[in-house]
Amino acid sequence: MEVNEQLIQAITRAVVEQLRRNGVQPPYGQNAQKPSEPGVNTLAGKTRMRPKHSYEGAQKAPQGTDPKEIVIGVGAAFQTEIRSTITGIPLEEVIRNVKAGIEEEGMTSRVVKVLDTSDVGFMALKSAKLSGSGIGIGIQSKGTTVIHQKDLYPLTNLELFPQAPLMTLETYRRIGRNAARYAKGEMVTPIESVNDPTVRAKYQVKAALMHIIETEQLDPDKGMIPWEDGDKR
């Protein structure tokens, strides 16, 4: 059997891919840091993750009046600096499924980008207050989601999905459906809790980095802006 450079590279890629699927962090030379001299393993001096996106000219999203409307408030880095959730689900698919869930229940949706806070509870509450129905959904770029109602305390909510790595597209669709049912005043059975005690070990550092990316894109003067065609930006 002839072994050439291309074949070796292809096998290496396949092995690395398999390791990743098994949840192993990348080995040397695959995005990981190599060990080096003492005092060198530091990121000191680096001040941000991504350049600041300009929202020059963006208008504030208007107050909703349609009682059938549910506002989806997405994070500041959504579809600009961050294109998929912490587990790699493309953000346009996330939005598509939430909207589809809302439509299945005969309600309508409006997407806005929240530029004044990256805290998902407040993102959801602000969206609820903007929404004609009083129900809003906040979605951080890493995938964490809250369903909120305009007259609740900020740190309470209708439904909270705190573990972003456990989210699936089906969950997002069901979130859309439940939000629509709350807006219709139905008796809603919350989506059952899921739990994975290994999530913190694997993802919390990544979550912190993604939250830094989101937070450094905040533009509080802009508030909330229309984000209907986010995927085309």
Nearer to another protein by Cβ, of 133 and 163: the residue is 163
Contact (Cβ atoms closer than 8 angstroms) between residue 157 and residue 136: no
CB closer to another protein, 64 vs 73? 73
Q: Toward another protein, which CB reaches closer, 109 or 144? A: 144
Comparison of 205 and 228: residue with beta carbon closer to another protein: 205
Min separation Cβ 110 and another protein, Å:
25
Please enumerate in sequence order all residues whose Cβ is within 8 A of that of 201, keeping only pairs 6 or more positions apart, or say none: none
CB of 2 to another protein, least distance (A): 17
Nearest approach in angstroms of CB 45 to another protein is 7
Least distance from C-beta 67 to another protein, angstroms?
Answer: 23
Single-letter residue type at 27: P
Single-letter residue type at 152: L
Min separation Cβ 109 and another protein, Å: 24
Residue of 112, 78, 80, 95 whose CA lies nearest to 226: 112
Residue 25 backbone zone (phi > 0: left; psi -120 to 50: alpha; other: beta): beta
If you ran DSSP here, which 8-state letter would residue 61 be given? P
Judged by beta carbon, residue 31 or residue 65, the one nearer another protein is: 31
Nearer to another protein, 196 or 228 (CB): 196
Q: Which two tokens stand for residue 121?
A: 């509870």
C-beta of 125: minimal distance to another protein in Å?
Answer: 10
The residues binding another protein (CB under 8 A) are: 12, 15, 19, 22-25, 27, 29, 33, 41-47, 117-119, 122, 153-157, 159-160, 162-163, 187-190, 192-209, 211-212, 214-216
Compute the Cα dihedral for 10, 13, 19, 23 and give only its sign.
Answer: negative
Closest to 194 (Cα-Cα) out of 162, 226, 172: 162
| Residue at token pair 């229940």 | 105
CB of 47 to another protein, least distance (A): 5
Amino acid occupying residue 70: I
Distance CA 19, CA 112 (A): 38
Contact, 148 vs 127, CB < 8 A?
Answer: yes
Among residues 6 and 22, whose Cβ is nearest to another protein? 22
Determine the 3-state secondary structure of 149 from DSSP: strand
